[in-house]
A and B are shown apart, each in its own frame.
Chain A
Amino acid sequence: MEICIVDDDKVYQLLTKKLIQRIDENISIKTFFNGEDAYKYFSENQSRSNVLLLDINMPKMNGWEFLEHLEQDGIENANIYLATSSIAYSDLEKAKQYNSLKGYLIKPITKEKLLKITQLTKIESN
């Protein structure tokens, strides 16, 4: 299993990595600081990641743009979760417009949330 973290917050990346490793050491982790790099990886490698944790506010290509690009190209092979610190209602509403989104996570990402995601993914992939 591979989990991909797309977020410009260096601290958040570190913390999330730590939490994932504490759940399952076998899970490989991929990180990107902006949407553009992540999109490149996904479009070029047909993505081996099973889970994608996506932030909204990022330089170059934000979360929404990333989603639009993926939907345009028809890339659907990852369970994408929007992971944001925003508790703004407008963002939640906007998120509902994207079919490719599996879920909407509000930071902080806790161990419990991550466990649920990994378990769900495992069940689905089996």
Chain B
Amino acid sequence: MSLINSQDKSNWFYRHPYLLAVLSFSVIFSLTILIAEKEMVINTEKEHKESQKILAEIEDKINEVFKSSYVTTLSLALTIDDKGEPKNFEYVAEKLFEANKNIDALELLPGGVVKYIYPYENNKNALGLDVLKHESSREESIKAIDVAKIYFAGPINLKEGGYVIIGRLPIYTEGKFWGYSAIIIDFKNFLEISGINNLKKEEFSYAFTKTKPNSEERKYLVKSGENFDISKAEKLVIEDADWVLYLHKNNLSIPYLASSPFIIFGFFLALGFAILTYFLLKKPLQLQKYIKIQARKLLDSELKYKAIFQEAGMGIIYLDDHENFLEVNTEFLNSSGYRFCDIAKLKFSDIIIQSDRKEEKRLPLNKFEAKLICKNLEKKEVRITKSSFKVNHKNTHILLLEDITSLKESENSLRELSLRMEMAIRLSGLGYWEWNTNTNEIVWSENTYKIFGVAKTTQLTSQTSLERIHEDDVEEYKKIMKTCLNTKKGKTFEVRLKKDNGEKLHVLNRSESYQDKDGNLILKGIVLDITQKKETLINLQHSYQTVVEQNERLLNFSYIVSHNLRSHSSNIQSIVQLIKELETYEEKQEMFGLLAEVAVSLNDTLTDLNEVIHIQKNNGGIGEDVELKFVLNRIKNILRREIKTHNISIKEHIPSGVILHFNAAYLESVILNIVSNAIKYRDPNKNSEIILNYKEDEKYKILEIKDNGIGMDLESNKNQIFGMYETFTDFKNSRGIGLFVSNNQMEALGGKIEIESTLNKGSVFRLYFKK
């Protein structure tokens, strides 16, 4: 941090690379422009000077022409004598003409009129021309008088031909204007001499103008190029003729273009320099930033490390390669009870017991479990994680110690608990099952396999259990499972299972459903084989039923005793009373006769009762296999006389080989009773017939005996039909004991009798024998 602070001020430059780049660009570029401008000014100056030099040269040449012209005209004027007449004009003119090759013609114009001219032949047409009066020459002629020296007019086109300039010198004799001495020079020739024609058109532009006297109108005599800008040109004024020569260098109009390559170069130089500056300045800044980040990271990780080391919930030990303690954290000290000074002289191996550690191997594993000996000599189970690294070329180790004592303890208690649970489940015979309805994964405990009678190797599906469930219970079972899944409410119910050997099992089932953390709908439950209990219960119910029935029979019996026996006893009482009262012998004899009758009846009743008691006493009877056909044949034999006498047709629809497990004597008694009843109560108006049918249902073998006799009104006799001494007819031999006994006999062996009957149509008796 101190390093960074000290650099702060000097780093202002480093922190503004962009600004500095812009600045350096500006400086360099400005310099470039400044230099370019300077260069340009110098260039322009040079060009001007060059023009001026050329103009000076031209001026010298023109002045020379003018001087020689002046000399020539003056020499010519000297020929004029005192009288004002030129003498030897021809001669002098010839001499002058020869001396000055530039001259085209010489004239003397006394009073402004052309009078003398040389060479005469070529120019005689000009004779007599008054220049002061002629329009084209008047103004310039007057100008010559005004300036009182030689003044060049033109160039003008001569009448006699040629484009010339005319220099006129006003001549005064005795203070009076005499006329002009004039020299004519070909204009082309003049341009040649003056050097104007020699100017290079590629290098220079120029214009040669004439301003007429008394006017500002400028007339271009010679011009190079159309677009000549006078304002930029150097000029040479020739007053003796009112001429102006303008001149400038051709490329003068674009001075910046000349220096533009330099400016462009300057621009890129500045740009390059700016970029260079920027990057040079930026690099340290970036490095500095990077250092800052690294420093922060370093600081962070140091803080983190310190925090982890000191505040960690597990013990941390820092060891050198010889297992000496370099540093330990608070948690380690707290949990082990040591102070650092206690262990500073110890080695790590002194406080650790590692069962599978060998002496020569030092901290062999990256992860291992061991026992830590605490200061109070308590041993703690620890899991140690080691990481090794080098510091100053020496191996060091950081060990993380995790106290797993309680984990081990709970592991042990869990194991114990699960052992107990297993034992409990095994002893109770409970079977556990679980069905993940989403993945269709099914788990059964060992007992569940046993209860369902399924081999443990069987691949379990949702069908496995359904196949084992009794067909009568399957639908109900499915319904309960669905409800359980839908309502998430547990349900306890019983279900019957079938075993391979045909046995039936009664199973108590408790099912519950819930949703696990992955969203799977799980159905689970326990099953318990309750067959024994269930069978005991069923037996108990049977016994109860039997007791109830016996009680009913007992009541019936007591009623019989109460009613039937008493009717005899009351009769005897009455008879005895009358015997006492009656006086006559005959009357007494009659009473004794009645008494004998009652005695017989009483005996019959007692015999019947004895029979009933006998049946009931032998409740359950001795079952034996009896062939139904055999019994029927015996009965037909017993009743053969009645059958023949009354012409009864008996139709048998009994398959041969039907065997009933019943008491043979009872069976014969019951069937005989019903068949003889059918004969006894036959309808004399019909052809009597008795039909015997045989059927079977789930529980019973059924013998049906159907007649077309007189029938009974069952509606009104429902409760009495099997009662003792119930008769429905006035038949003299009807004692009302038969069905009572038959019913008792059937019930004694678990069967029953059902009757259907319609008055005048006939009766159907169905005998139910338990299968």
Q: Which residues of A contact B (CB under 8 A)?
A: 9-12, 14-16, 18-19, 22, 33-34, 56-57, 59-62, 65, 84-88, 90, 106-111
Contacts and interface: CB of A to CB of B under 8 A. Distances in A.
A106 B573 CA distance: 12
Nearest to A9: B567
A88 B567 contact: no
Nearest to B572: A108
A108 B572 CA distance: 9
Contact of B594 (A11, A34, A109, A111): A11
A11 B571 contact: yes
Report whether over half of chain B's contact residues are helix, strand or loop; otherwise say mixed: helix
A61 B569 CA distance: 24
B728 A60 contact: yes
A65 B729 CA distance: 15
A-B pairs, top 7 by smallest CB distance, nearest first, are A107-B570, A85-B567, A108-B570, A85-B566, A59-B727, A108-B574, A108-B573
Q: Which of B570, B571, B597 has the most CB of A within 10 A?
A: B570
Interface in B702-732: 716, 720, 725-730
B578 A15 contact: yes
Interface in B723-758: 725-730, 734, 736
B574 A85 contact: no
B577 interface: yes
A59 B728 contact: yes
B562 interface: yes
Nearest to A56: B563
Nearest to A14: B594
A15 B571 contact: yes
Contacts of A61: 716
A33 B731 CA distance: 11
B562 A87 contact: yes
Contact of B577 (A9, A87, A111): A111
Given A9-B571, A15-B574, A86-B559, A107 B566 contact: yes
B579 to A, nearest CB: 11
Given A18-B578, A19-B574, A12 B567 contact: yes
18 contacts: A11-B597, A12-B570, A12-B571, A22-B581, A33-B730, A34-B730, A59-B730, A62-B720, A85-B562, A86-B562, A87-B566, A88-B562, A107-B566, A107-B574, A108-B570, A109-B574, A110-B577, A111-B581
Contacts of B720: 62
A57 B566 CA distance: 13
Interface of B: 558-559, 562-564, 566-567, 569-571, 573-575, 577-578, 581, 594, 597-598, 601, 716, 720, 725-730, 734, 736
A19 B577 CA distance: 10
A85 B570 contact: yes
Contact of B559 (A11, A18, A65, A88): A88
Contacts of A19: 574, 578
Given A11-B597, A86-B559, A60 B729 contact: yes
B570 A57 contact: no
Contact of A108 (B562, B571, B728): B571
Given A59-B734, A60-B730, A15 B566 contact: no
Given A9-B571, A60-B728, A88-B559, 13 more contacts: A11-B575, A12-B571, A19-B578, A56-B563, A57-B725, A59-B736, A85-B569, A86-B566, A87-B562, A88-B558, A107-B566, A107-B570, A108-B573
B600 to A, nearest CB: 10
Contacts of B571: 9, 11-12, 15, 107-108
A108 B559 contact: no
Nearest to A90: B559
Q: Which of B558, B574, B725 has the most CB of A within 10 A?
A: B574
Contacts of A34: 730
A12 to B, nearest CB: 6
A110 B581 CA distance: 12
Contact of A88 (B563, B578, B716, B728): B563
A85 B563 contact: yes
A16 B725 CA distance: 22
B594 to A, nearest CB: 5
Contact of B567 (A18, A59, A107): A107
Nearest to B601: A11
Contacts of B601: 11
B598 A11 contact: yes
Contacts of B725: 57
Contacts of B573: 108
Contacts of A59: 727-730, 734, 736
A19 B587 CA distance: 12
Nearest to B713: A60
B563 A108 contact: no
Contacts of B594: 11, 14-15
Contacts of B558: 88
B364 to A, nearest CB: 99
B574 A84 contact: no
A22 B726 CA distance: 33
A18 B581 CA distance: 11
Contacts of A11: 571, 575, 594, 597-598, 601
A9 B566 CA distance: 12
A12 B563 CA distance: 14
Contacts of B729: 59-60
A114 B389 CA distance: 132
A25 to B, nearest CB: 15
Contacts of A108: 570-571, 573-574, 577
Contacts of A88: 558-559, 562-563
Contacts of A107: 566-567, 570-571, 574
Q: Which of A15, A60, A90 has the most CB of B within 10 A?
A: A15
A33 B601 CA distance: 17
Nearest to B736: A59
Contacts of B570: 12, 85, 106-108
Contacts of B575: 11, 15
Contacts of A90: 559
A16 B570 CA distance: 11
A20 to B, nearest CB: 12
Contacts of B597: 10-11
A60 B710 CA distance: 13
A14 B720 CA distance: 27
A107 B564 CA distance: 12
A24 to B, nearest CB: 15
A84 B578 contact: no
A33 B575 CA distance: 20
A111 B562 CA distance: 23
Nearest to B594: A11
Contacts of A109: 574
B577 A84 contact: no
A87 B736 CA distance: 21
Contacts of A10: 597
B567 to A, nearest CB: 4
Contacts of B598: 11
Nearest to A84: B563
A33 B732 CA distance: 11
A94 to B, nearest CB: 12
Contacts of B736: 59
Contacts of A86: 559, 562-563, 566
A9 to B, nearest CB: 6
A10 B600 CA distance: 13
A73 B479 CA distance: 57
Contacts of A57: 563, 725-726
A115 B23 CA distance: 159
Given A60-B729, A108-B571, A65 B716 contact: yes
Contacts of A87: 562, 566
A85 B601 CA distance: 15
A35 to B, nearest CB: 11
